[in-house]
Amino acid sequence: MESSLAIPALTKDLARVLIDADTISRRTDELAREINKAYANIKGPLILVGVLKGSFIFTADLCRKLTIPHIVDFIALSSYSGSNSTGNVRLLMDTRENLEGKHVLIIEDILDSGTTLDYLIRNFKSRKTLSVKTIVLLDKPERHTFPVELDYIGFTIPDVWVVGYGLDYNEKHRTLPYIAEMYPQTE
Ligand code: IMP
Ligand code: MG
């Protein structure tokens, strides 16, 4: 049956498609294979903690490609307003799982300054977890201000604002199936 789902046309605020849906899917396959291998021998399920809202699509796609036992959980943080970092992280919603004694994999949409992941890694390590690792779909190395150790990276991108596949600009463009670069916005 032919799909009737139309891919939204690029709008005036989007400059170009940076990573298309097929490329994201193939990279997610590779990452899932690496994770399946790395956690093949752990005791108990791996706790996946998706950082809302930006990583919800990546989390959903990645977890369906995992063959190891896992539990999906989420955490909600906020550090941004528009495209300017406010520099401080607010915990809006904690995980439901008790992370003590568990292997945890944090799933983030993008590493920008590193503020969010730096906060989360410290926070999770203080909960007596067995291990805390990180996977980010996108990494913007030029923007790092905190030295965050990443275990898995989907794609390295230049310092541009990107939207789609979970990422937004003031809630806009979050559900595009691809990752697109935005023209610089004057808020
Ligand atoms: P950090 O704390 O500065 O590393 O920022 C991480 C968060 O900022 C990400 O989880 C995103 O929610 C948001 N962010 C950073 N860069 C972008 C972008 O290019 N597009 C959409 N969201 C972004
Ligand atoms: Mg985020």
CA atoms within 13 A on the CB side of 7: 11
Paired tokens of 9:
């046309």
Rounded to the nearest whole angstrom, what is the distance from the C-alpha of residue 99 to the centroid of ligand 2?
20
Give yes or no for residue 47 CB within 6 A of ligand 1: no
- State if residue 135 touches ligand 1 by the CB under 6 angstroms criterion: no
pLDDT of residue 50: 98
Instruction: For residue 53, report the distance from its CA to the centre of ligand 1, in Å.
Output: 11
Average pLDDT for 162-167? 98
- Taking the CA of residue 161 as reference, the ligand 1 atom at the shortest distance is 19
> How far from 154 is each of 19, 34, 84, 88, 127, CA to CA, in Å?
11, 12, 23, 25, 27
**Cβ(112) to ligand 1 under 6 A?**
yes
CA torsion sign for 138, 139, 143, 149 is positive
If pLDDT is split at 50, 70 and 90, which confidence band does 90 have?
confident
186 pLDDT above the threshold of 80: no
Task: Using the predicted structure, report yes or no on whether residue 88 has a pLDDT greater than 90.
Answer: no
Rounded-to-integer distance, Cα 95 and Cα 85, Å: 23
Q: Give the confidence band of 8 by pLDDT, cuts at 50, 70, 90.
A: low
Residue 108, ligand 1, Cβ within 6 A: yes
How far apart (Å, rounded) are the C-alpha atoms in residues 97 and 111?
A: 24
Which residue's alpha carbon is at the smallest distance from atom 11 of ligand 1?
Answer: 110
pLDDT at 35 over 70: yes
Task: Judge contact between 17 and 183, C-beta under 8 A.
Answer: no
For residues 16-44, give the mean pLDDT. Answer: 97
Contact 152, 34 (CB under 8 A): yes
> Angle, to 10 degrees, between the axis of helix 56-63 and the axis of helix 21-38?
60
Bridge partners for 38 per DSSP = none
Q: Which atom of ligand 1 is nearest to the CA of 146?
A: 4
Atom of ligand 1 nearest to the CA of 118: 2
Least confident of 9-18, 55-64, 99-108, 117-126: 9-18
The separation between CA 153 and the C-alpha centre of its own chain, rounded to angstroms, equals 10
Q: How confident is the model at residue 137 (pLDDT cuts 50, 70, 90)?
A: very high
Distance in angstroms (rounded) separating the CA atoms of residues 161 and 178:
14
Which position among 109, 112, 118, 139 bears the catalytic label? 112
What's the whole-number mean pLDDT along residues 164-187?
93
Q: Name the fold adopted by 19-77+89-155.
A: Rossmann fold (3.40.50)
Catalytic, 168? Answer no
